[in-house]
Amino acid sequence: MKPVFMTYTKKDLINLAVCMVLSVFVIPTFITTEYWYTSILIPWLCLALATIGQQIVMGYTGQLALGAAGFMAAGAFAMFNLILRVPDLGFVGSLIVSGLIAAAFGILFGLPSLKVRGIYLMVATLASQFFIIWMIDKFGWFKNYDSSGIITAQDIVILGKPFTTPLAMYFVCLAVTTVLTLLAMNMARGSTGRNWMAVRDMDIAAESMGVSLLRTKVQAFAISAFYCGVAGALFAFCYLKSLEPVAFDIKLSFKILFMCILGGLGTINGAFIGAAFILLFPVLLNAIGNNVFHGAIDATIISSIEQVIFGGLMIIFMIYEPLGMAKLWENIKQKWKTKIPSSTNIKSSLSKKT
Amino acid sequence: MTQERKFKIGKPILEVKNISLSFGGVKAITDTSFDVLEHEVRAIIGPNGAGKSSMLNCINGIYKPQQGTVSFKGKEIPNITPNIMAQMGLSRTFQNLALFKRMSVLDNILVGRKLHTKTNFLEVAFQLPKVKKEEKLNRDRSEEIVSFLEIEDIKDTPVGKLPYGLQKKVELGRALATDSSIILLDEPMAGMNVEEKRDMCRFILKVNDELGTTMVLIEHDMGVVMDISDRVVVLDYGKVIGDGTPDEVRSNQKVIDAYLGVEH
């Protein structure tokens, strides 16, 4: 498969075109209920973006990090302050700068990765989670001295036009996520991604080939935090429409970690699959509870069942398919292909026999 | 080794002086010195635990010897790290295979082109024209190495799925891709059958012959070593017990004792 445009093969471009048609034309025409935009599509895009960030540092560079929500909080509050204090930057400008601010935190908290690894690094990166949230809570400046604890996010205005309807916000998220996903794919498939994976698979050999561990790891942390920061800003401004540090607690970090693992470590499309699964699964369970059992099962039991099933799935995936749902999908496609050989294959196998 | 060589053996390119390395109380290498001449095939042999791999790890900067110095290309290098040595033009393979298991053969070899990649991640993200140009150059060189090593048919396979002999080949390919002036090979033929060994010898000699790359190799198979190397250094218990041409080493009484055992 030769790349046709940038690093994308013909198949990628076709997939991209299909996704774009679906998300730009089909979804807006057929889905009219606000619920789908505000509660499913927008958070899905935001969390998928954050999961790509987690993928870069964990799936590609192999550094066990657990602080995605902390970087998201950094991005969200940076965005709030930038729009408040530097209005000239505009929405897109603020989004990029808040990503960069999150990236600065990423560099700071990525430094331990040079000395510790594995589960110990995970504990070290937890510091980012707690430190950033603590910092925002402690210093009133970040919240513009708001005493209520929950600040309303400013309206999104791009080039003088307000983007306040759910559909408009969905398009903002879609645009940002698409651009950043395409850039992430370029990096992952280019020399940058090869360096990441080399460090993941065998760091001592990577170093002997001239790959600097310091630069590669810190770079991965920075880029990862940038993605999380942008995702956090979108999450706060398009989904929550408010800013509170509690929204970015450790639970969200774990959620993103699960999305990353279930989706498939070291894959970009896995980020979208994982995020969709973790977001949609509770919705599906609730629907089953309401429609099949007509509310006979208590809602708290359903949410407990959800946890049980997530836990079980994590274990099952870790044992049978450590590369997650993206790999599972690949395998299914592969099996499908071998089961139904195309006509040319049949012809060639026939001609071989004769 | 009788025909005229394209690259004449020249001055010392790598000099190891009085290296001593110990792990806690265990002395791995004691006061060892030897040199490697430009464009030669130099072998390091010795019984198990003689300190051969430790020696390579000292040269490459993975281990820090307590004493002694390593000079490369006429310069003494004070703080050796694998990265500095790679940048100076020294590449290596590993005894227990240190490949990037989840990456394809071609990608593994492409990592070897790291030092010939100057573009940064932002340029890669936006795929600027110079990235495409550089990537093409690196890919072409890697493809060349793939066809040189006769592994075209497996170039898109993840390395982890390949048999041992092929993985060894890929590792040689990755070291070659760096275009280094010297390559350290840590047991390139361990665990191979006769045919694979012959292939490997052919590749090592071909690289040395066509590119003039200096080769330092560790090997157990005495026959192989004597056939392909210009000079051999023999280690035993972390000390040099013989150094010279294969014939000199073969007739060295200490070497014979070390290999065959001696009555006490």
3-class SS string, chain A: CCEEECCEEHHHHHHHHHHHHHHHHHHHHHCCCHHHHHHHHHHHHHHHHHHHHHHHHHHHCCCCCCCHHHHHHHHHHHHHHHHHHCHHHHHHHHHHHHHHHHHHHHHHHHHHHHCCCCHHHHHHHHHHHHHHHHHHHHCHHHHCCCCCCCEECCCCEECCEECCCHHHHHHHHHHHHHHHHHHHHHHHHCHHHHHHHHHHHCHHHHHHCCCCHHHHHHHHHHHHHHHHHHHHHHHHHHHHCEECHHHHCHHHHHHHHHHHHHHCCCCCHHHHHHHHHHHHHHHHHHHHHHHCCCCCCCHHHHHHHHHHHHHHHHHHHHHHCCCHHHHHHHHHHHHHHHHCCCHHHHHHHHHHHC
Look at A208 and B114 and tell me if their CB atoms are within 8 Å.
no
**Residue ranges making up the domain that contains A116:** 31-353
CB contacts < 8 A (A, B):
102
**Which chain A residues have a beta carbon less than 8 Å from that of B112?**
209
CATH topology of domain B1-89+180-264: Rossmann fold (3.40.50)
Q: Answer yes or no: is A322 within a domain.
A: yes
Are A205 and A195 within 8 A, CB to CB? no
Question: CA geometry: angle at A309 spanning A307 and A315, to 5°?
Answer: 105
Are A21 and A13 within 8 A, CB to CB? no
Residue in chain A lying closest to B63 (CA): A204
The answer, as to whether pTM is greater than 0.80, is: yes
User: Closest approach of chain B CAs to the CA of A9, in angstroms?
Assistant: 14
Selected for mutation to probe chain A from B63, B96, B124 (highest A CB count within 10 Å) is B124
**Which chain A residues have a beta carbon less than 8 Å from that of B111?**
194-195, 198, 206, 209, 211
Q: How far is CA A293 from CA A254, A296, A298, A302, in A?
A: 30, 5, 10, 11
**Which chain A residues have a beta carbon less than 8 Å from that of B118?**
none
Give residue-wise pLDDT tens across range B70-84. Answer: 999 999 998 899 999
Residue by residue, pLDDT tens for chain A (354 residues) are: 678 888 898 989 999 999 999 999 998 888 888 888 988 999 999 999 999 999 999 999 999 999 899 999 999 999 999 999 999 998 999 999 999 999 999 999 999 888 888 889 998 899 889 999 999 988 888 888 887 778 899 988 888 889 989 999 999 999 999 999 999 999 999 999 999 999 999 999 999 999 999 999 999 999 999 999 999 999 999 999 999 889 999 999 999 999 999 999 989 999 999 999 999 888 888 888 888 887 777 878 888 888 898 888 888 888 888 888 888 888 888 888 887 655 555 555 555 544
B94 vs B264, higher pLDDT: B94
Q: Is the CB of A160 inside 8 Å of chain B's CB atoms? A: no
What confidence category does residue B264 fall into, taking pLDDT thresholds of 50, 70 and 90?
low
Q: Answer yes or no: is A136 within a domain.
A: yes
The closest of A264, A275, A214, A268 to A239, measured between CA atoms, is A275
pLDDT at A1: 66
Look at B117 and A223 and tell me if their CB atoms are within 8 Å.
no
Give residue-wise pLDDT tens across range A142-196. Answer: 888 887 778 899 988 888 889 989 999 999 999 999 999 999 999 999 999 999 9
Q: Is the CB of A340 inside 8 Å of chain B's CB atoms? A: no
Angle separating helix axes B164-177 and B129-148, nearest 10 degrees: 130
Domain of A308: which CATH number?
1.10.3470
Q: Answer yes or no: is A311 within a domain.
A: yes
Q: Answer yes or no: is A288 within a domain.
A: yes
Q: Exposed/middle/buried for A18, CB within 10 Å: 0-12, 13-18, 19+?
A: exposed
Q: Answer yes or no: is A318 within a domain.
A: yes
Q: Answer yes or no: is A222 within a domain.
A: yes
Q: Which long-range contacts (CB under 8 A, 24 or more apart) does A269-274 make?
A: A269/A326, A270/A55, A270/A59, A270/A324, A270/A325, A270/A326, A270/A327, A271/A48, A271/A49, A271/A51, A271/A52, A271/A54, A271/A55, A272/A44, A272/A48, A272/A51, A273/A324, A273/A325, A273/A326, A273/A329, A274/A51, A274/A324, A274/A325
Strand partners, B19: B32
pLDDT at A74: 95
The closest of B235, B203, B205, B206 to B218, measured between CA atoms, is B235
Q: Is the CB of A206 inside 8 Å of chain B's CB atoms? A: yes
Per-domain residue ranges of chain B: 1-89+180-264, 100-176
Residue in chain B lying closest to A193 (CA): B121
Q: Is the CB of A201 inside 8 Å of chain B's CB atoms? A: yes
pLDDT at B31: 92
What CA–CA distance (Å, rounded) separates A79 from A153? 9
pLDDT at A347: 52
b (16+ CB within 10 A) / e for A130-140 = ebbbebbeeee
Number of domains in chain A: 1
